[in-house]
Structure 1
Amino acid sequence: MPRQGRPPLLIAVLIGVGIVVAQALLVPLFAAPAANLGPRDLPVVVAGPAPAADAFAAQLAQREPGAFEISRAPDAAAADAILRDNAAYAAFVVGPTGPAVHTASGASPIVAQLVGQAAAGMNAPVTDVVPGSPDDPRGGGFAAGFLPLALTALAAGAALALLVRERRARFVGVLSFGVLAGLVGPLVLQTWLGVLSGDYLLNAAAVGLFATAVAGTVAGLGAALGRPGIALSMLVVFLVGNPLSAVSAAPELLPQPWGAIGQFLPIGAGGSLLRSTAFFDGAGGAGPAWVLGAYALVGLLLALVAGARPTPAESRVEAPADREAVAA
C-alpha cells in the first residue's frame, strides 16, 4: 500500500512560511549595519605639543563619547607613520596656527569623508597621507569588485563538493582555483579597472588566499556533511559574513560587536587583507591573513580527508543489490 505523504497544499504553505521567516531575519541583518553606520572606538591620532594636543584630545573625546580610540604622537611625522602602518584612520595635528587633519583614505574612503567633513567645520586643511586608487576615489569600485570574488569562490567550492567525489582531485581543485583566482582577480581589478594600487603579486597573494579560504570552506564542509554542509557554509560565509564584512565602510563604523565578528569571517578578513596589500604594502594584514589561512587549512583538510558520499541515484541503484546480498 503506497505511503501517504504530506498534501501538496501543506507543502506549498510551509515553503512560503519558511521563506518569509528567512526574509524577516535577513532584511535586518543586511539593512541594520548599513543604517547604523557611525564611529565606534575608531582609531585616530592626535599629534602635537603636549598641552595643546592633550586639550584637543580631551575635547574630541568629550564631543563624541565612545566614537574615537585616541592615541598620541609627538608630531606630524610620527602621526603619518602610524597612518602608513595601517594602525589608524586619521590624525589631528595640532600646531601653532590650529589643527590640521591627515587621513588615510586607502583604509576607508567613508571614514576619510567623515573626517573631512569634521575638518571643514574646524576650518582645518586636509592631507591624504595614504590615498586610495586615483581611479576609484570613493572606494565604490573596490567594494563592488570584491563581491564577485566572493561569489565565484562560493560557486567553485559548491561545484567541487557536488561534482568531484575523489578526495585528492577535490583538494587539487581547491588549490588550483585559489591560484588562478589570485592571478586573474587582481589582473582585472588593478590593470583593467584601476581600483587597486600597490604590488600586483602581493595583491594576487591576498586574493588567492581569500579564494582558497572560501572555496575550501564550502568544498570541505560539503564533502564532510553533504548538501547541509554547503548550505551551512553559504549561510556563514555570505548571508552572515557579507553584511558584517564592512568592505565598503570600516569595521569600527558597524554596531558592535558585529563589526569585530565580521573580521573573523572570510569576506571581512579578505577585504581587510586586500586593502592592506593594495594601499599599505601589507601593513596591518597579518591578522586577516591568519584568519583566512585558518579557513583555508581546515577547508583543504576536510576536502582531502572527508569520504566521498554516494549520490541519491547511486544509492537507489545500490540498494536492491544490498538487499539481495542480505537475503542470500
Structure 2
Amino acid sequence: MRSHRPLTAGVLVALVVVALQALLVPLFAGPASGLAPRDLPIAVAGPPPAAAAVTQKLATEHPGAFEVSTVPDAAAADAAIRDRSVYGAIVLAGPAPEVHVASAAGPVVSGLLGQAAGPQAKVVDVVPLHSGDPRGTGFGAGFLPLAITSLLAGVLIFFVVGRRGARLTALLAYAVAAGLAGAAVLQGWLDVLPGDYLAVAGVLGLFGLAVAGAMTGLGALLDRPGLGLGAVTMFLVGNALGAVAAAPELLPQPWGAVGQALPIGAGATLLRSVAYFDGHGGAGAAIVLSAYAIMGLLLTLIGRRGTTVIKKEAAPELALAR
C-alpha cells in the first residue's frame, strides 16, 4: 500500500501543475491577444460641424472604441495630450486631417490611432519616446526586473529579519537604494528613460516599497500562505494585466482597471507619467502604490515576529532532542 503513495503524489503534483498552466495561459495570452481600443480617450480638434462629423464617423466605424471630446484647435489638443487627458487627437486643419499622438504614452496606442484616422492622415508625435528607447521596448523590459527584485526583497526580509522594527528599517532602506540604483541604471547606464533623476528614483523607490512591503506584510500576517498570495496576485496577475507596454484601455474590461489597481500596472503608469509628462496623469497610480506601501508597513508592524515563527517550528525538534 505504501509503495503506491509516491506514485499517487507524483500524479497529483502533475495534475496541479497542469491545472495551473491551464489558468496561466489564458491569463497572459487572453489580454495580449485581445488588445483593442475600449473607450480610449481621444480628442477631435476643429470647427464644430467637421468635428461632429468625425466623431460620428468614429462611433459608426469603431463602436465603443473611443471616448471622444472636442477641442477648438491643435494647440488645445496638444495640451490635452501633454496633461494625459487624452491619448491622441484628430486635428482637422488644412486639406487633410492630422493625427497628434504621444508615442511616450504607449507606441501601441499611437499606431492604433494612426490606423483609425486612415492612411492619408499626417501623424505628429507631440510627446515622443526617448531617443535611447525609440521603440519603447526598453521601458517594459527594464521595469519587470524591478518587480522581481522587489518581490524577492520582501520575501528575504520576512525570512531573514526577525524583529518588526528591523523589518521596517530594511524595507525603507531597500526602497531608497532600489530607487536610486534603478534610476541610475535606466537613465545613466542604459539611457532608456528621460526625466528628472530624483523624481524617477522616487517613483521606483515607492514601487519597490509597495511590492516588498506588501510581501513582507502578508508574510507577517499569514506566514508562507501570505507570501504565496502576494506572489500570485501582485506578480503573476499584476504582470499579465499591467499593460506595461500598452495601455489599460486596450485590455478587455474590467481587466484593465484591475491591472491598474495592482502595483505593476500602477507603477508603470506613474513612471511613464513622471518621466515623460511631468507627473500629469499619475495621481491615481501614486495613491495605489502608496496604499500598498502603507498597508505593507502596517502589516509588518502588527504581524508576527520572525523569531516567534522560528521558535514554534523548532520546538518539536528541541523536545525530541531532550
Q: Same fold (TM over 0.5)?
A: yes
CA-CA distance at 1:60 after TM superposition:
1.3
Cα deviation, 1:150-186, whole Å, max 9, x if unaligned, reads 0000000000111111111111111111111110111
Taking a change above 3 Å as real, the CA distance of residues 137 and 173 of structure 1, as seen in their structure-2 partners, is: same
Q: Kindly indicate whether residue 225 of structure 2 is the aligned counterpart of residue 220 of structure 1.
A: no
Match for 1:93 among 69, 91, 94? Answer: 91
Gaps in structure 2 of 5+ consecutive residues: none
2:282 maps to 285
- Residue aligning to 1:315: 315
Partner deviation per Cα, 1:59-116 (whole Å, 9 max, x = no partner): 1111100000101111111111100001111100112423111001111111112223
Residue number among 225, 248, 253 corresponding to 2:250 in the alignment: 253
Q: Could you say which residue in structure 2 is the equivalent of 1:102?
A: 100
Q: Equivalent residue for 1:46?
A: 44
- Code of the residue aligned with 2:314 in structure 1: it is E
Q: 1:162 to 1:6 in 2, by over 3 A?
A: farther
| Residue of structure 1 in register with 2:148 after alignment | 151
Show structure 1 runs of 5+ residues with no match.
none
2:173 corresponds in structure 1 to 176
Q: Which residue matches 1:190? A: 187
Cα deviation for residue 195 of structure 1 reads 1.3
CA distance in 2, matches of 1:259, 1:137: 25
Q: How far did residue 320 of structure 1 move?
A: 5.5
The residue type paired with residue 249 of structure 2 is E
Residue aligning to 1:162? 159
Which amino acid is the alignment partner of residue 315 of structure 2?
Answer: S
Q: What is the distance in 2 between the residues matched to 1:6 and 1:280?
A: 62
- Give 1:203-282 correspondences, 5 Å limit: 203-282=200-279
- Report if aligned partners of 1:217, 1:233 keep a CA contact under 8 Å in 2: yes
Residue in structure 2 matching 1:297, options 294, 297, 320: 294
Q: Which amino acid aligns with 1:302?
A: L
What SS class does the counterpart of residue 97 from structure 2 fall into?
A: strand
CA shift digits 1:2-29 (9 cap, x unpaired): xx89822211111111111111101110
User: Normalized per residue, which structure has more helix?
Assistant: 2
Moved more, 281-290 or 89-98: 89-98
Please state how far the C-alpha of 1:317 moved relative to its aligned partner.
3.7
SS at structure 2 position matched to 1:106? helix
Aligned partners of 1:110 and 1:138 also within 8 Å: no
Contact 1:199 1:281 (C-alpha < 8 Å) held by counterparts: no
CA RMSD of aligned residues (A): 1.7
Cα deviation, residue 227, structure 1: 0.7
Shift of 1:191: 1.5
Separation (CA, whole Å) in 2 of partners of 1:242 and 1:82: 29
Q: CA-to-partner distance for each residue in 1:39-64, whole Å, 9 max, x for gaps? A: 11111110111111111111111110
Aligned to 1:15: 13
SS across alignment from 1:151: helix
SS at match of 1:242: helix
Residue type of the partner of 1:114? L
Q: Does 1:115 align with 2:113?
A: yes
1:83 and 2:76 are equivalent in the alignment: no
CA contact (8 A) 1:109 1:137 kept: no
* TM-fit CA distance, 1:132: 1.5
- Code of the aligned partner of 1:155: L
Q: Give the whole-Å Cα distance in 1 for the aligned partners of 2:16 and 2:4.
A: 16
TM-score, normalised relative to structure 2: 0.95
SS at structure 1 position matched to 2:92: strand
Q: How big is the shift at 1:315?
A: 3.0
Distance 1:126 1:82 in 2: 16
SS in 1 for 2:134: coil
Change (3 A) 1:115 1:173: same
SS in 2 for 1:46: strand
Which range moves more in the overlay, 222-231 or 303-312? 303-312
Code of the residue aligned with 1:60 in structure 2: it is L
Which is worse superposed, 70-79 or 6-15? 6-15
Q: Which of 43, 68, 72 is 1:70 aligned to?
A: 68
Give, as a single letter, the amino acid of the residue that structure 2 aligns with 1:43: P
What is the letter of the counterpart of residue 241 of structure 2?
L
Which secondary structure does the structure 1 equivalent of 2:280 belong to? coil
Deviation at 1:212, TM superposition (A): 0.2
Q: For the residues of structure 2 that align with 1:23 and 1:232, how far apart are their CA atoms?
A: 17
Cα pair 1:99 1:124 within 8 Å, conserved: yes
Counterpart-to-counterpart distance in 2, 1:6 and 1:151? 39
